[in-house]
Amino acid sequence: MRDSPGCGLRPCPGYEEQNTDTPMKKTGKATPKTQAAKKTAPKKADSVPQKTDAAPLDLVALRERIDGIDRHIQELIGERAQFANQVGKAKGKLAAAVDYYRPEREAQVLRRVVDRNDGPLNDEVLVRLFREIMSACLAQQEPLKIGYLGPEGTHSQQAVYKHFGHSIHGLPLASIEEVFQEVEAGHADFGVVPVENSTQGTIQSTLDMFLTSKLKICGEVELRVHQHLLSRNGQIEGIERVYSHPQSFAQCKAWLRQYLPKAEKIAVSSNAEAARRARSSDDAAAIAGISAANVYGLKSIAGPIEDRPDNTTRFLVIGRELFPPSGNDRTSLLVFIKDQPGALYHVLEPFAKHGLSMNRIESRPGHTGLWQYGFFIDISGHVHEEAMRRALHELADYAQEVKVLGSYPVAIA
């Protein structure tokens, strides 16, 4: 083992988890500002550069121009908020904030942001900026209450902020089951739960909840997950035990095998809980996101330490109703098939017949009888679209039961 993270542990001084993996777009075009800068730039003599007053004056002018743009942006945001208020009034007096929220409308707005983007900021940055503007405008009525797998500092909380912005009221809960229960009871407007990881596969406890729950999927979030080894003193020497969620242990097993092969691995309910426990002793560490380090006062020993750099977790947004199509949607189904030859083939055939692409299929014990299984199927399209209607109608001839879990906008940036 090396003596310090500077000798191969991939340390990250000053690291902030800001999801900057997407490369910045380059248009290759000179903007009006760069053209103006070129025209006003001081000319240099062929031999010795000469000092002029032009450069400082240009810097002052550019800063004044930026200040003017900032004022204009602020005025436009205020104007947008006023129109958002008028939209709320046009809908009449509604019961709660959830009645004003329209995920299909937000998805359409954000797709247009991406379509208009010519740089230099990348799509993810612009989507995040507009998401926060919409979040603040919606919160004028009343902040949405969003349940998620807590405590504070989990990747689930990051997924909440990515999808809803920061102008919400977050409800950290002890388990995925409790997230479902709080949304069903109306104590939370929506919930955010993990459903699959790109390296470790499906989160079975989430799928099992849909076997009995009446909630609907009304959104999805894809979050690039970076894991860090955190401790109270920031030193790897003397670490005897590591706390983390089982999924995170699996995502970092090669790193742990190389650098902490003798440390005890203790599974806990969430990475934030791991960070909370690790802060009490110098011989303990946690695997968690950098946001957990900020919340619980820990230092990063090394990171990112996940075995795959494209490690991504998909989250589902759960609510109490279906929403209209956004134009680029996905439908999740739970299908119980009749026990007959070719049953699964006959279940899938209507989707191919009507030009609907299947994104995912997975079986789970159906809890309806011994050796009875349900199939979770993701299909491109929305249940309110004609092709999907026809496919579901034909599906009924071969399926014992078909449950529409949700139709929702495909994840954006």
Residue 14, pLDDT above cutoff 70? no
pLDDT of residue 258: 96
Cβ 169 vs Cβ 145: under 8 Å: yes
pLDDT of residue 157: 94
pLDDT of residue 363: 86
Distance CA 70, CA 3 (A): 48
Is the bond leading into 143 cis (omega within 30 degrees of zero)?
Answer: no
pLDDT of residue 339: 74
Residue 217, token pair as written in the block: 């999927």
Average pLDDT over residues 299-315: 93
pLDDT of residue 26: 39
Distance CA 193, CA 180 (A): 9
Convert the pLDDT of each residue in 43-87 to its tens digit. Answer: 443 444 454 555 566 888 899 999 999 999 999 999 999 998 887
Distance CA 130, CA 115 (A): 13
- HEC per residue, 282-319: CCEEEEECHHHHHHHCCEEEECCCCCCCCCEEEEEEEE
Nearest alpha-carbon partner for 270 in 249, 241, 301: 249
Binned at pLDDT 50, 70 and 90, residue 37 comes out as very low
CA distances from 115 to 105, 110, 126, 236, 382 (A): 16, 9, 11, 46, 22
Angle at 359 between CA 358 and CA 362, to 5 degrees: 95
Residue 376, pLDDT above cutoff 70? yes
Residue 411, token pair as written in the block: 């994840």
Tell me the pLDDT of the chain averaged across its residues: 85
Residue 218, pLDDT above cutoff 80? yes
Cβ 189 vs Cβ 96: under 8 Å: yes
Nearest alpha-carbon partner for 194 in 269, 98, 111: 269
Nearest alpha-carbon partner for 217 in 330, 300, 59, 105: 330
Average pLDDT over residues 175-199: 95
For the chain, the distance separating the N- and C-terminal CA atoms, rounded to the nearest angstrom, is 39
CA distances from 20 to 15, 81, 125, 135 (A): 11, 28, 8, 21
Which of 96-105, 154-163, 211-220, 250-259 is least confident? 96-105
Residue 13, pLDDT above cutoff 90? no
Q: Which residues make Cβ contacts (< 8 Å) with residue 386, sequence separation at least 6?
A: none
Mark out the alpha helices in 185-278 (DSSP H runs).
Answer: 204-210, 246-251, 253-259, 271-278
Q: Which residues make Cβ contacts (< 8 Å) with residue 112, sequence separation at least 6?
A: none
pLDDT of residue 10: 46
pLDDT of residue 18: 40
pLDDT of residue 42: 41
Q: Is 78 exposed, middle or buried (0-12, 13-18, 19+ CB in 10 A)?
A: exposed
Binned at pLDDT 50, 70 and 90, residue 369 comes out as low
Residue 4, token pair as written in the block: 């310090």
Q: Which residues make Cβ contacts (< 8 Å) with residue 43, sequence separation at least 6?
A: none
Distance CA 301, CA 313 (A): 23
Is the bond leading into 151 cis (omega within 30 degrees of zero)?
Answer: yes
Total residues belonging to the chain: 413
